[in-house]
Amino acid sequence: MRYGFATLTVLVAMFILPSIGVSQDFDFFEPHTTLGGYGELHYNYSKIEDAKSKKTLDFHRFIMFFGYAWTEKWSFKSELELEHNFVDGEKGELELEQAYINYHHADYLGFQAGVVLVSTGLINEFHEPPLFLSVERPYYNKVILPTTWFGNGAALYGNTSGFDYKIVVMEGLNSDKFSASSGIRGGRQKGFKADAENLLYNGRVDYLGLPGLKIGASYIYNNANGDSTTIQIGLIEFHTQYQNKGLYAAFEIGNISYDSGDVEASRGYYFDVAYNIGKLFGIDSKILPFFRYYDINTAAETKSGGDSEKKYHYTQWMIGLSFLPIDQIAFKIDYAQKTVELESITTDLFNLGVGYMF
């Protein structure tokens, strides 16, 4: 009884005294909710050789971001995505793309747990429409780095001395869904009651110490398993981006090795160059004509060899224009010619798009 009363007194004193003593000055943080979002509408036209053209209009993705910060160190962030306007069976997708508790201990060390993103390439973590030039995300970031690559797991991150790093451990891939046409993309479990038998391990480092330049690499390892297959994959990639004085350039190259199955390796690269001509007109808006080239083969090395290594070997050049009246809105147009090595069949592609972020 005596101890209880003494404890109570001390507790009360501890809560009241500091708040009298400590000034409210220099305390700039207040708990708050953040709402945000991004999205994009696309018009896509494609024509393979003399075949009839295919045209689609699609609100490709609509994302709602909401988060809450309880303290300077503890916060929650999430992204909910609706793809293709509508969900019905196999049509459309509704996904919880991010949902994690974030503990920011210091700039050099933080921790995340929940639905997190794999830390790889230039676009997986920075995928808002005004942040890339073309209407659709680069093909490299579809079949080599399957953006948006997310899943249930945990991560450590930090920034120190010009270096930025992240280490992620999360659910692995379903090896039954790997394919020669799209590499490991089909294997993403997307968090749905994910099989946690074999976890995925990922590490990424970037150097940001030189003005306007980002240069980095990442590695991903997963002993992926499915109902009928087990395929160990190792993905290594290198990426760099430069933005200065109106010039914009990006380059990504990656390789995936598989230890079983017919496909033994997927690899590819692409590069973008653009220049902001808005400055020449003396306006604040950005007008970015750009050129892209890629060379990607999701079945670069196969056990069967021969045509199977040519069937999904694509090279493409693209020209386009990205217009950003303000930094958060982008109107885009692009035209490309894509050629497959097998029989040199060419596809004409034309796209229009509008995207936003806030």
Partner 1 sequence: MKRLLKIFFLLLFLMLNLIEMKTLAQVIKEETEALIIEIFGEEVNFTFSKFELADTIKKKVESIVKQKFFGEFIYLYTISANDKIIAFGFLDNVYGKSMPITFFVLIDINGNIISTNIIKYREAYGGAVSNKAWIEQFTGKNIEANFKVGWDISSISGATISVNSVTKGIKKILLLYEEIKDEL
Collapsing DSSP to helix, strand or coil, 188 comes out as strand
- Structure tokens given for 244: 């200065």
Least Å distance, CB 256 to partner 1, is 23
Q: With binding defined as CB under 8 A, does residue 276 bind partner 1?
A: yes
How many residues of this chain bind partner 1 (CB under 8 A)? 53
Q: Which of 9, 56, 181, 244 binds partner 1 (CB under 8 A)?
A: 244
Which window, 13-21, 144-152, 170-178, 259-267, contacts partner 1 (CB under 8 A)?
A: 13-21
314 CA to centre of own chain:
22
Q: With binding defined as CB under 8 A, does residue 282 bind partner 1?
A: no
Give the x-and-dash track for 120-149 against partner 1 (CB under 8 A).
--x--xx----x------------------
Place of tokens 């109902």: 227
- Pick between residue 7 and residue 53 the one whose CB is nearest to partner 1: 7
In the chain, % helix, strand, coil (3-state, to 5) comes to 10, 60, 30
Q: With binding defined as CB under 8 A, does residue 281 bind partner 1?
A: no
Q: Which of 14, 20, 90, 227 binds partner 1 (CB under 8 A)?
A: 14
- Long-range contacts at 337-345 (CB < 8 A, ≥ 24 apart): 338/314, 339/314, 339/315, 340/310, 340/311, 340/312, 340/313, 340/314, 341/297, 341/310, 341/311, 341/313, 341/314, 341/315, 342/307, 342/310, 342/311, 342/313, 345/48, 345/49
- Site residues (vs partner 1, CB under 8 A): 3, 7, 10-11, 14-15, 18, 21-29, 32, 34, 36, 67, 69, 72, 75, 77, 102, 104, 107, 110, 112, 122, 125-126, 131, 157, 159, 162, 164, 206, 208-214, 241, 243-246, 276, 279, 327
